[in-house]
Amino acid sequence: MKDFFARQEDARRQSGRLLMFFAMAVIGVALAVYLAAAVARLWLLAENGAAVGFWHPQLFLWTTTGTLTFVAAASLWKISELREGGARIAAMLGGKPVPTFTQAPQERMLRNVVEEMAIASGMPPPDLYLLERERGINAFAAGHGVRDAVICVTRGAVELLSRDELQGVVAHEFSHIRNGDVLLNLRLMGWLSGILVVSQAGEMILRGMRRSSGRTAGAIFAVAAALFAIGYIGYFFGQLIKSAVSRQREFLGDASAVQFTRNPTGLSGALKKIGGLSLGSRLEHPRAAEVSHMFFGNGLEAAWLHALDSHPPLDERIRRLEPGFDGRFPAVKPLPPPPSEAAAHVVRPAKAPPESVSALSGVAVAALLERVGEPMQEHIDLARRLLSELPESLTDASRNTFSACAVVYGLLMDADPAVRKEQEQLVEAHDSGAAAVELRRLLPALDGIPSQVRLPLLDLSLPALRSLSPDQYLRLKETSGALSAADGRESLFEFTLRYLLLRHLEPRFFPLTSPRPVQIYGIRGVRKECSCILTTMARVGVRDENAAQGAFARGAMVLNEPKLDFHFLPAVECGKSSMEHAFAILESTSPLIKRRLLAASLECMIHDRIIKIDEVELFRAIADALDCPLPPWLDLSRGESGVTH
């Protein structure tokens, strides 16, 4: 038996030969077109009685180069059309991203397996997606290269395979990425459709000249019919070759998987389970056919002709790994069907929170965090601890679309019982009685949580809130506005919360036409807005005006623009509307300005060595407005600075 290196070499050589055949097929199409044209020419000239040869260099040059450019242009166009990022394909098939720090044991295992294979194959770990609704055992890799690759695994594979078997499957997909199979397949598909265009051209000509007659028309008719036939014949052979290439790449993938895992039984076990499972590797998603060539096992029903299968038969694949295989597949009990669409909708946002934990790594923020001298891992641990300390009723509520609205209302509740009474009535009036009841149920738990987790709780609720209907969203927007204005003034927390809420949900319901481009590159143009932000920040930290000016001066110094003066603005000029205005303008500044402004705000905040929760919340809002999402727990790991409420 050949070892896996020799088998890889075989598969590479085979697919290289097949690719040569494919190129020959394309050239063959061009030659056939010349042949058709030459015959038509002979026929036309024969009428005049002139003796002409079959060989006509000029005609040959024109038809072959014409056909080849035509095919090449069509295929390039098709390739650029097919060139979708891996993430989009994964999303198209209903894939759900698996977060880096997932807690679910099976997702954790999958994540680990992928990272191990990344080490074994010497590639960066690709993004990982889970097809939650697919019960068959399958997986695929997509993306054009190592850098934007994704790996997608079905739920059936994760739940039915053992760890070793899953590892074999993942290793196989890694091999597809490393050997550039995805791109190869994309190109072959492009060229195939290029060949098909030849026959489409023939068809178009045929249609266009249905009513004309005469000898010339007859010749054109014949050529068009020939084009039509040539295109289809070429397409058929191209398809045959492409399937053969695809099968060779599968063998290559299997052999490389053994190289990466050094464990052929894992991979062969997975293949056997596919054979034993009644669903096999089939996919249920309606659009699976478009990407069937990328899968670990056959994603569709077997083709009518084995030569057209994109994957080699299972027992042949197993026999290459395990020569003694007797062809008997173990029976595997299929998974129960996934929950209905509506139930899945409620469950899915529940998985999202860990994602917000892993989204900490904005470059600017990392730099800022370094300035404060706090390692990232601590934040993550802290975040986990904070979240685990939240009462279960609240974490549950934040995952449910209906209760999440009540959570938002609850966060906006005033401490004063009289105002609170009024606010409850507002909820009833603007939203519904049921929402008020839910609010009353959650209030005791909400009052019990420490103030630094109030905004994180909002973050947790966002995924659920995204699945509101537009009507419900408008109601939430209106009610929360009324609530925050209930006591006659809008506190900073209320402003921050509403700002974050609307900022994250508004685009979901009323999409912007396009993301705002960077328009402002100099800090001079946004002097006033910067001053507004820094003044507000400075004022929040301290009560007395002098200290605020001191903090402001420190912040302005960090902006490091000696030629410009930033003015400490009177309180009237930094109201809610001017803040919102400043945020809107600063959003379109260049990343460099954003970064400096963030650093300056941070300096304002830590100027007096006491960090208040209000300051942190405002800082989060600023960071968010500048598109630099920030971990909410910035202050908490700094025990010595203390958190004052």
Give the residue numbers marked as catalytic.
Answer: 173
DSSP state, 612? E
Q: What is the DSSP string of 232-249?
A: HHHHHHHHHHHHHHHHHH
Q: Which of 17, 42, 84, 116 touches other proteins by CB under 8 A? A: 116
Task: Tell how far CA 461 is from the center of its chain.
Answer: 21
Buried b (16+ CB within 10 A) or exposed e, 55-69: ebeeebeebbeebbe
* Closest separation in Å from C-beta 101 to other proteins: 13
Instruction: Give least dist CB 162 to other proteins, A.
Output: 12
Q: Counting contacts by CB under 8 A, is residue 117 touching other proteins?
A: yes
Q: What's the longest Cα–Cα distance across the chain?
A: 109
Cβ at position 137, least distance to other proteins in Å: 21
Q: Which residue's CB is nearer to other proteins, number 117 or number 153?
A: 117
Q: Are 258 and 185 in contact (CB under 8 A)?
A: no
Tell which one of 16, 122, 448, 522 touches other proteins (CB under 8 A): 122
Contact 138, 294 (CB under 8 A): no
Nearer to other proteins among residue 114 and residue 411 (C-beta): 114
- Binding segment toward other proteins, per CB under 8 A, in 119-127, 135-143, 289-297, 421-429: 119-127
Looking at 121, 246, 281, 484, which residue binds other proteins (CB under 8 A)? Answer: 121
Range 392-411, binding other proteins (CB under 8 A): none
CB 86 within 8 A of CB 56: no
Q: Round to whole Å and give the CA distance between 257 and 175.
A: 7
Task: Number of residues interacting with other proteins: please give it, by CB under 8 A.
Answer: 16
Q: Which is nearer to other proteins, 102 or 401 (CB)?
A: 102
| Residue found by looking up tokens 């945020």 in the block | 583
The backbone region for 81, taken as left when phi is positive above 0, alpha when psi lies in -120 to 50, beta otherwise, is alpha
Q: Which stretch binds other proteins (CB under 8 A): 118-126, 361-369, 511-519, 589-597?
A: 118-126
CB closer to other proteins out of 149 and 198: 149
- Whichever of 263 and 292 has its CB closer to other proteins, that residue is 263
Query: Binding marks (x or -) toward other proteins, 445..484, rule CB under 8 A?
Result: ----------------------------------------
Nearer to other proteins, 256 or 461 (CB): 256
Minimum CB separation of residue 261 from other proteins in Å reads: 8
CB atoms within 10 A of CB 385: 11
Please report how close the Cβ of residue 268 comes to other proteins at its closest, in angstroms. 19
In the complex, minimum distance from the CB of residue 110 to other proteins, in angstroms, rounded to a whole number: 11
For other proteins, the binding residue among 6, 20, 73, 119 (CB under 8 A) is 119
CA–CA dist 602, 560 (Å, integer): 14
Site for other proteins in 92-111 (CB under 8 A): 105, 108-109
Which H or E run includes 97?
strand 95-97
Q: Does 146 bind other proteins (CB under 8 A)?
A: no
User: Is 210 in a helix, a strand, or coil?
Assistant: coil
Q: Which stretch binds other proteins (CB under 8 A): 113-121, 434-442, 463-471, 619-627?
A: 113-121
Pick the binder of other proteins from 10, 84, 115, 355 (CB under 8 A).
Answer: 115
Q: Least distance to other proteins from the beta carbon of 104, Å?
A: 10
Minimum CB separation from other proteins for residue 109, in Å? Answer: 6
CA gap 221, 207 in Å, rounded:
10
CB-side exposure of 121: number of CA atoms within 13 Å? 30
Residue with smaller CB distance to other proteins, 10 or 116: 116
Nearby residues of 492 by Cβ (< 8 Å), 6 or more positions away: 540, 614, 617, 618
Q: Does 388 bind other proteins (CB under 8 A)?
A: no
For the bound state, the minimum distance from the C-beta of residue 120 to other proteins, rounded and expressed in Å, comes to: 4
Please state the separation of Cα 596 from the chain's center in Å: 30
Cβ proximity to other proteins: between 159 and 573 the closer is 159
Q: Write out the H or E segment, with its range, that includes residue 311.
A: none
Contact pick of 112, 162, 212, 590 for other proteins (by CB under 8 A)? 112
Q: Which stretch binds other proteins (CB under 8 A): 218-226, 255-263, 319-327, 446-454?
A: 255-263
Q: Which two tokens stand for residue 166?
A: 């899953």
CA distances from 494 to 84, 484, 502 (A): 42, 6, 12
* Residue 5 or 43 having the CB closest to other proteins: 5
Which position has the token pair 């850098």?
147
Write the CB contacts of 28 (distance below 8 Å, at least 6 apart in sequence). Answer: 234
The closest of 338, 341, 449 to 387, measured between CA atoms, is 449
Question: In whole angstroms, how close is the CB of 132 to other proteins at the nearest point?
Answer: 21
Q: Which of 572, 580, 416 is nearest to 488 (CA)?
A: 416
Of 31, 35, 39, 120, the residue at the interface with other proteins (CB under 8 A) is 120
Residue 235 contacts residue 189 (beta carbons within 8 Å): no
Distance CA 366, CA 374 (A): 9
Answer whether 221's CB lies under 8 Å from 36's CB.
Answer: no
Q: Contacts with other proteins in 160-219 (CB under 8 A)?
A: 163
Q: Which CB, 76 or 109, lies closer to other proteins?
A: 109
Site for other proteins in 256-295 (CB under 8 A): 259-260, 262
DSSP state of 306: G
Residues binding other proteins (CB under 8 A): 105, 108-109, 112-113, 115-117, 119-122, 163, 259-260, 262
